[in-house]
Structure 1
Amino acid sequence: MQFLIENWALVLIALTSGGMLLWSSYGGASGSDGVSAAQAVLKVNREKGVIIDVCEPNEFQAGHAVGSKSIPLGQLDKRLSDLPKDKNTPVLIMCASGMRAKRAAAQLRKQGFVNAAAVSGGMRSWREAGLPVEKG
């Protein structure tokens, strides 16, 4: 007990960092981190979600998730009509690494697509999970 009293600052720092770790791991950062490749597949299969690839056309041609639709990030605002009419449909956003996808998901949520989410890690994580990729 004496140790805790004498080192209260260290104990407070340890508790705070542990709390922050738990917060980020268990939903405190929900929405911002996106979904895993496996979760994306479940949303497509169970909830009729759609995958939108926001890579540039040459990146899309080099390899993309099977069944995904190409809408480059720079054209997203102009091509909202290519997205599901029901704004509650899960819209899963992909890119090469996940960075552009996060921006696109935030952009779509502002447009009312409440279930827009980036696929964390993008095509890199999709390939690592052994999920199907097509070219062309």
Structure 2
Amino acid sequence: MQQYLDFVLAHPFLFAALAVVVLLIIANEVHGNLTGGKRLSIPDAVRLINDREPLILDIRPAADFKRSHLLNAINIPAAKIADRANELGRDKARPILIYDALGGSAGEAANQLKKLGYAEAYPLRGGINSWLGASLPVTAK
């Protein structure tokens, strides 16, 4: 324990930088939970797909969608959600799983869909990159 204290005393700027990074990570998670509701982890998303057959919405640009996307996903870029919401179907009670590249803007899209009357809109934590990192299937069709 004394070695830790010696390190902190010898490197106060490094320790302060670590503290700032930790606080920013915590603030980011809290902000995401407050603004985007519950963000689904990969296992939770797989469970949702298997149990409830949600609509899967890819909000990345069309070029990225064509390269690879989750199975049965539809593509509506984030900036066009309000204009193209009619493409999501009439069943506003059906859950929607939303993802982007890294998970950053999926929460905002979920909020937008909730304002349009969709009851359940869940952003995927980490986006398609975390999906690929878990070695789960994607398609280019």
Q: After TM superposition, is the score higher than 0.5?
A: yes
Aligned position for 2:44: 39
Aligned position for 1:129: 134
The answer to whether 1:110 aligns with 2:97 is no
CA distance in 1, matches of 2:61, 2:73: 13
Long gaps (5+) in structure 1 = 1-20
Following superposition, the deviation at residue 86 of structure 1 comes to 1.7
The answer to whether 1:86 aligns with 2:65 is no
Match of 1:96 among 101, 104, 108: 101
Following superposition, the deviation at residue 38 of structure 1 comes to 2.1
> Percent identity between the aligned chains?
32
Which structure 1 residue ranges, 4+ long, deviate > 4 Å from structure 2? 28-31
CA distance in 2, matches of 1:109, 1:131: 28
RMSD: 2.2
Long gaps (5+) in structure 2 = 1-25
Following superposition, the deviation at residue 116 of structure 1 comes to 0.3
Q: TM-score normalised to the size of structure 2?
A: 0.71
CA distance in 1, matches of 2:51, 2:90: 18
